[in-house]
Amino acid sequence: MITSNLTYRKIKSKIFFYIICIISFISMIPLFLILWELIKKGYKQFNFSLFTEIAPTSMDAMLAKMSNDLIPGGILNGITGSLLILAMAILISIPVGIFTGIFLAEKKNNFYVQLIRSLTDLLQGIPSIVIGVIVYIWVVKPMHSYSALAGSVALAIMMLPMIIRSTEESVKMLPITLKEAALALGGSYTNVIFKVLLPSAFGGIFTGSLLAVSRVMGETAPLLVTALGASTINWNVAEPTSAIPLLIWEFYNDPNLSDLVWSSSLLLLLVILFINVIAKSISKKWKIQ
C-alpha cells in the first residue's frame, strides 16, 4: 500500500513538473517571436551608422528607398538624449528612493509610514501618460519650453516606487543583530545606516535601481509631453531633447522611415535585456543568506 502511494505521488509529481515546463515554454514563445521579428526586419539597418549619425529626414529616406539603398543616418540623437534624460532621472530618483526606503524600513508601522507605502503603491499604478501631463504642468509650463529636464522628472517619478520598495525590503531582510552590533560598538545611527546597513543591502538596492531604469527606458508617452524630441544632438537640459522611444514613434508615423523602427526597437530591446541580465547576476551574487 505504501509502495503504491509512493509510486502514485512520483507519477503525479512528474506530470505536474512537465506541465509547468510546457506552460513556461509557451509563455516564452511571444518573446522568441518578438526577437525573431525584430532581428529579421532590423538587422539590415543595424550597422555602424546607427550609432554614429543622427536621424535622417523623410526626403533622404525616400530617395534611398527609391534607389533600393539602405536608409542613411542613424539614431545618435536619440541615444545621447536617452543617456542624458536617464542620467538626470537616476540622479533625482535614486537618492530620494533610497532615503525613503530606509525610512520605511526603520520606522514602525504608524499612520505616516502606512500613508507613504500606500502612496508609493498608488504611484506605481498611475499610467505613464498621466505622469507626463502632471510634469508638463509642473515643469514644462513654468519653463515655457519642453526640455530634457522635464522628461527626466517624469521618468524619475516612475522609477521611485520600485527603488523605494526594493530598498525597504532589502534593509528589512538584514538581521537585526547587524544593526545592534554596530550600535553596541559605539557607532552613531547615521554611521550605522551609511556604513553598515546600506553596504550590506547594496545588492538588493542596486538590483531594484537597475530594474527601475530598464522599466522606464522604453517609455514614450511621458516624453511626448515633456521632452518632445529634437532632430539634432542636444546636451542642454533646458531644451527639447530626443530619445530612442521618441524616434521609434516618429519613424512609425513616417512611411519613409518605417524601416528604422525595427533596428531602433532591436537596439532598445537588447539594452533592456542586458540591464535585466546584469540585475539578475548582481542579485544572485549579493543575495542575503
pLDDT per residue as tens digits for the range 164-178: 999 999 999 988 888
Q: Give residue 285's pLDDT.
A: 72
pLDDT for residue 214 is more than 50: yes
Q: Give residue 2's pLDDT.
A: 61
Summarize the confidence of residues 266-285 as an average pLDDT: 85
Closest by CA to 81, choosing from 7, 154, 152, 176, is 152
From the CB of residue 201, how many other CB atoms can be counted at a distance below 10 Å?
Answer: 27
Residue 257 is given by DSSP the state: G
pLDDT for residue 201 is more than 70: yes
Q: Give residue 66's pLDDT.
A: 85
Q: Rounded to two decimals, what is the model's pTM?
A: 0.90
Q: 287 falls in which pLDDT band (50, 70, 90)?
A: low
Summarize the confidence of residues 121-135 as an average pLDDT: 93
Top CATH class of 76-285 equals: mainly alpha
Computed over every residue of the chain, the mean pLDDT equals 90
pLDDT for residue 3 is more than 70: no
Q: Give residue 289's pLDDT.
A: 45
| Nearest-angstrom CA–CA distance, 160 and 177 | 29
**Amino acid letter, 136:** Y
Q: Give residue 1's pLDDT.
A: 55
Burial, 146: exposed, middle or buried (Cβ in 10 Å; 0-12, 13-18, 19+)?
buried
Integer CA distances (angstroms), 20 to 7, 25, 28, in order: 20, 9, 12
Q: 223 falls in which pLDDT band (50, 70, 90)?
A: very high
Q: Give residue 146's pLDDT.
A: 95
Percent of the chain with pLDDT strictly greater than 70: 98
Summarize the confidence of residues 4-14 as an average pLDDT: 81
